[in-house]
Chain A
C-alpha cells in the first residue's frame, strides 16, 4: 500500500538589501493587516466589483503556484493540493481544506479565515459572503492543478463564516 508522505512547502525568503523589499520564492510580498484587506473587500462590494478583487487575487496566485510546482517537480495532485493549502496558511489567509477536485469541479472548505474573522472583528457579521480573496486563491489553485488557463474557473462561496457559519464552503465549476 502506498504511503503518502506530506510534502512541505519550501520558502526561500529574501530581503532586498538596497530597498528592503521582501521576496518569497522570488515573488515580492508585503505585510498588511485585516483593516486593509477588509476595507479593500468593502470597497469591492460597494462598487459592485467583487469580480475585480477575485480576479486580482487569481492572477497573482496563478503564477506562484504554477512556478512552484514546476521549479520543485511537484507532479502528484495530493502534493499540489498540500502545497496550495500550506501557501494559503503561510500568507495568513487561514486554514484551507480541499474536499475534492476533478477536472470540472471542486469543493473547498475554510476552517479558519483571515478575511472573515477580520471582517467580523471590524464590522460584525454580514448578510452575504465576502471572501473574494480566498475565492481568487481557490480559482488559481483549481486552474493550475488542472492545467487550465487563468480565468476559466467559477468560484462561488456557498457558506460563509462572515454570515455566521462555522466553516466556509466554496464550490468550483468551469466556464
Chain B
C-alpha cells in the first residue's frame, strides 16, 4: 500500500477552519460546521433513551442515516478537494482502494475517530477499527448493551458507496446506500476498540 497514513493525518489535521465574514464555512461542496462533540452526543443519547422502545431501531437508523449522507456528500467533497489533491492524490497507485485508505486517514485527521481499515475485500467488504471516537464519550461508568457509534457506521458505509457504488450522484438517489455497516464492537460496550463491518446492502445486515 502506497498510502502514508501518518503523513496524511499530520498534514490534514492542521487545516485551520473558521467561519467567513458571514459566519459560514463553505468548503468541500458543503456548508461545514464545527460544534462541540457533546452537542452531537447529547442529542443522540437523549433521543434514543427517550423514545418508545419499539422506536429505538428506527431512531438509530435515522441517526446512522445522517452520518451516511454526510459521509457520502462530504466524503466526495474531500476526495476532490485541493487539500486532497495536494497531500493524498500523489500517493494513490491503486484506485479506488488507496482512495479508501486515504479517506480513512482524513477521517482521523478531522477528529471524527482514530480509525483505520483492517480488512478490505474490494467491492465487497471492509472492516474498520476505531481506537478512539467521540461517540463513545457519554459512557462514564459501566458499558452499553447496544453500541452507539451511529456516525461512524454511516460514514464507513458511505465511503464504500463512494469507492464501489458507482459515480457520485449529488442527489443521493443512486450510489448512496449501496453498502451498509454493522457495529460489532464498541469502546462504549467495554471493548478495546470499535469495529465496523461494511458489506453490500443486500448481503444480510438489513438496511443497517
Chain A neighbourhood of B14, CB < 8 A: 15
* Chain B residue, CB-CB nearest to A110: B23
How far apart sit A34 and B108, CA to CA, in the bound complex (Å)? Answer: 20
> Which 9 A-B pairs rank lowest in CB-CB distance, beginning with the nearest?
A89-B23, A92-B25, A39-B66, A19-B132, A56-B42, A60-B39, A36-B70, A33-B30, A22-B111
Chain B neighbourhood of A28, CB < 8 A: 36-38, 111, 134, 137
Q: How far is the CB of B30 from chain A (nearest CB, A)?
A: 4
* Chain A residue, CB-CB nearest to B46: A52
How far apart sit A48 and B72, CA to CA, in the bound complex (Å)? Answer: 27
Report 15 cross-chain contacts, Cβ distance below 8 Å, ordered by A residue. A19-B131, A22-B34, A30-B36, A30-B40, A31-B32, A34-B30, A35-B70, A52-B47, A56-B42, A56-B46, A89-B18, A91-B34, A92-B31, A94-B24, A117-B31
A91 touches B24 (CB 8 A): no
B interface with A by C-beta (< 8 Å)? 9, 13-14, 16-19, 21-25, 28, 30-40, 42-43, 46-47, 50-51, 59, 62-63, 65-67, 69-70, 73-74, 77, 108-112, 114, 131-132, 134, 137, 151
Q: Is A6 an interface residue (CB 8 A)?
A: no
Known: A19-B131, A20-B114, A59-B42. A47 touches B47 (CB 8 A): yes
A112 touches B114 (CB 8 A): no
B19 touches A91 (CB 8 A): yes
Query: Which chain A residues in 30-45 approach chain B with CB under 8 Å?
Result: 30-37, 39-40, 43-44
Q: Is A121 an interface residue (CB 8 A)?
A: yes
B111 touches A31 (CB 8 A): yes
Q: Is A88 an interface residue (CB 8 A)?
A: yes
Chain A neighbourhood of B62, CB < 8 A: 39, 43, 46
Q: How far is the CB of A137 from chain B (nearest CB, A)?
A: 9
B39 touches A56 (CB 8 A): yes
Chain B neighbourhood of A37, CB < 8 A: 33
* Chain B residue, CB-CB nearest to A57: B39
Q: How far is the CB of B88 from chain A (nearest CB, A)?
A: 16
How far apart sit A40 and B132, CA to CA, in the bound complex (Å)? Answer: 23
- Contact mask for chain A residues 145-172; partner B; CB cutoff 8 A; 1 contact, 0 none: 0000000000000000000000000000
- Given A33-B70, A39-B65, A94-B24, 14 extra CB contacts under 8 A: A15-B111, A18-B114, A28-B111, A30-B34, A30-B35, A30-B112, A32-B35, A35-B30, A35-B69, A53-B43, A57-B35, A59-B38, A93-B23, A111-B22
How far apart sit A11 and B19, CA to CA, in the bound complex (Å)? Answer: 13
Known: A20-B9, A52-B47, A60-B42. A35 touches B66 (CB 8 A): yes
Chain A neighbourhood of B23, CB < 8 A: 88-89, 92-96, 112, 114
